[in-house]
Amino acid sequence: MFLNKMLINGEWISTEKTMDVTNPATEEKIGSIPNGGAKEAQMAVDAASEAFTTWSKRTAEDRGRLLMKWFQLIEENIDELAEIMTTEQGKSLKEARGEIAYSNSFISWFAEEGKRIYGETIPASSPNKRLFVQKQPIGVVAAITPWNFPAAMITRKLAPALAAGCTVVLKPSEETPFTALRLAQLAEEAGIPKGVVNVVTGEAAPISEVWQNDGRVRKLTFTGSTRVGKILMSGASETVKKLSLELGGHAPLIITKRADMEKAVEQAVASKFRNGGQTCVCTNRIFVEESVAEEFTTKFTAKVAELRVGNGLDESTDIGPLINKSAVDKVKAQIEDAVQKGGEILTGGHALTDQKGFFIEPTVIKNATDDMLCMYEETFGPLAPITTFTDVDDAIRRANNSPYGLAAYVFTEDIKEAIHIVEALEYGIIGLNDGGPSAAQAPFGGFKESGLGREGSRHGIEDFLEMKYISLGL
Ligand code: ADP
């Protein structure tokens, strides 16, 4: 279940040095992975580069068929994959199964979408010329993925890459490598040829440096922190690679007096506490119109207080542990800072220190002000600060006052008000009366420092393609 080797050129490889992986709910060691470095990173690019020569030549239909076999195998192994994920990442089994289904939706979507990589013909300005545009796979793709969605962040990159005809070198997060390795094993079982998917585990920087500097890697796709995204962006300039970056977020959620309050409460809980608050699209700040603030706050707090914290393997758990101790420390520091600046804790507020595991209670704070850390620094944990407004335009201004621009949420039943707010928000994804907008067929990505490019949807495959213009003289 917990594979302890990495996959390069169809071979499962060990290294002398290894890294331990722990269960965040128990702090116990689950297993270990190879601590690969520059040598393995290089071998992976060699393999991917070799495999590209044949994989890129196969038809999209042929590649799509193999992707659908992979899809099928993932579906058949959903319970095992969910258990691996919960054990290494912490999220509840319910959420883990949901993530596997979500991950798989990228595979089936792109298996089809690969067949629709259309070109163009353009009218020429001379009668004896013909102008064509065709699209072709960009080449070897390097993918670096985070721990919060150990499966979905991988398939969202690998499925379009493979469908387009690219080959991949992947470095999953060292916190959650086992889901990635099992997915790769299923890809192999599905018949995806050797060298098309290579997984290198180990410390990030030495692996990533090799990929950054190797001119054969034509595209780097990354999901993770804005800090690392910036390092990769400058590193990729060395060989001018195409880049996709899905970075941090600081999602505002605006509720006006014209909202359907039951819906707003339910969706705010879902958006804030999904994965224990550890998603880049999780609500980070709640802005509620003064006249309905009390009603919202009371109902929201009551629902949050019902959330059950525990080991994700326990079926009754809603919220598992955070990924590690520093994640808990960050949330604790934000709570302390908020209280010091006048915030009032309505529920939660404590880390669970009398047991093993990185648990912290789902927390609601009212009277939040924009100078609190939680109102401008990404929380990545189960803390919901609530602030009020009397003027919608003021709420929009405050919501936009962030270097991030990934997701934002708006709750109102008034169509004019909705359009006004949605158009003014500087965010790439808007959930309008919807706390869960992500879908394989929709473009996911952010404005400003939240990233570059879009994943998912028909746009998501473009990032793995080069455009070739052919001018034919007759
Ligand atoms: P998070 O805070 O969500 O863990 P990170 O950006 O630290 O986000 O991690 C996301 C991915 O980036 C992980 O696979 C991690 O190993 C990798 N990573 C971390 N540091 C670097 C680095 N200097 N260069 C390349 N990748 C890195």
- Does the model's ipTM exceed the 0.90 cut? yes
Instruction: For residue 444, tell me if it sits in a domain.
Output: no
Instruction: For residue 445, tell me if it sits in a domain.
Output: no
Instruction: For residue 440, tell me if it sits in a domain.
Output: no
- Domain CATH code at residue 411: 3.40.309.10
Is ligand 1 within 6 A of the CB of residue 457? Answer: no
Same domain, residue pair 256 and 336? yes
Same domain, residue pair 47 and 63? yes
242: helix, strand or coil: strand
In the chain, the amino acid numbered 228 is V
**What tokens does 279 get?**
């998603």
**What tokens does 166 get?**
């690219």
Check if 282 is active-site: no
- Domain CATH code at residue 135: 3.40.605.10
Same domain, residue pair 161 and 288? no
What ligand 1 atom has the least distance to the C-alpha of 174?
16
C-alpha of residue 75 to centroid of ligand 1, in Å: 28
228: helix, strand or coil: helix
Range of the domain at 52: 6-247+450-473
Is ligand 1 within 6 A of the CB of residue 150? Answer: no
Same domain, residue pair 465 and 419? no
C-alpha of residue 395 to centroid of ligand 1, in Å: 33
Which residue's CA lies nearest to atom 26 of ligand 1? 204
C-alpha of residue 424 to centroid of ligand 1, in Å: 32
Instruction: For residue 441, tell me if it sits in a domain.
Output: no
Contact 367, 342 (CB under 8 A): yes
Q: 264 vs 129, 285, 293, 316, 392, CA distance in Å?
A: 58, 14, 12, 24, 16
Same domain, residue pair 274 and 382? yes
Check if 83 is active-site: no
Same domain, residue pair 42 and 162? yes
Instruction: For residue 347, tell me if it sits in a domain.
Output: yes
Instruction: For residue 47, tell me if it sits in a domain.
Output: yes
Contact 185, 3 (CB under 8 A): yes
Instruction: For residue 195, tell me if it sits in a domain.
Output: yes
Question: In which residue are the tokens 């609190």 written?
Answer: 372
401 vs 417: CA distance, rounded Å: 20
Which residue's CA lies nearest to atom 14 of ligand 1? 173
- Which residue among 88, 95, 280, 374 is the active-site one? 280
* Region at 159 (left for phi over 0; alpha for psi -120 to 50; beta for the rest): alpha
Instruction: For residue 334, tell me if it sits in a domain.
Output: yes
Supply the pLDDT for residue 1.
86
- Which residue among 246, 361, 378, 449 is the active-site one? 246
Which residue's CA lies nearest to atom 4 of ligand 1? 146
320: helix, strand or coil: coil
Is ligand 1 within 6 A of the CB of residue 466? Answer: no
69 phi and psi, to 5 degrees? Answer: -70, -40
Pocket perturbation via mutation, ligand 1, pick of 144, 232, 278 by most ligand atoms within 8 A of CB: 144
Same domain, residue pair 264 and 200? no
Same domain, residue pair 396 and 415? yes
C-alpha of residue 464 to centroid of ligand 1, in Å: 22
Same domain, residue pair 162 and 45? yes
C-alpha of residue 144 to centroid of ligand 1, in Å: 7
What ligand 1 atom has the least distance to the C-alpha of 145?
14
What ligand 1 atom has the least distance to the C-alpha of 172?
14
Per-residue pLDDT in tens (0 to 9) along the chain, 474 residues: 899 999 999 999 999 999 999 999 999 999 999 999 999 999 999 999 999 999 999 999 999 999 999 999 999 999 999 999 999 999 999 999 999 999 999 999 999 999 999 999 999 999 999 999 999 999 999 999 999 999 999 999 999 999 999 999 999 999 999 999 999 999 999 999 999 999 999 999 999 999 999 999 999 999 999 999 999 999 999 899 999 999 999 999 999 999 999 999 999 999 999 999 999 999 999 999 999 999 999 999 999 999 999 999 999 999 999 999 999 999 999 999 999 999 999 999 999 988 999 999 999 999 999 999 999 999 999 999 999 999 999 999 999 999 999 999 999 999 999 999 999 999 999 999 999 999 999 999 999 999 999 999 999 999 999 999 999 999
Same domain, residue pair 214 and 266? no
Is ligand 1 within 6 A of the CB of residue 173? Answer: yes
The total number of structural domains in the chain stands at 2
106 vs 223: CA distance, rounded Å: 16
Same domain, residue pair 288 and 373? yes
1 vs 14: CA distance, rounded Å: 16
Same domain, residue pair 353 and 338? yes
Is ligand 1 within 6 A of the CB of residue 205? Answer: yes
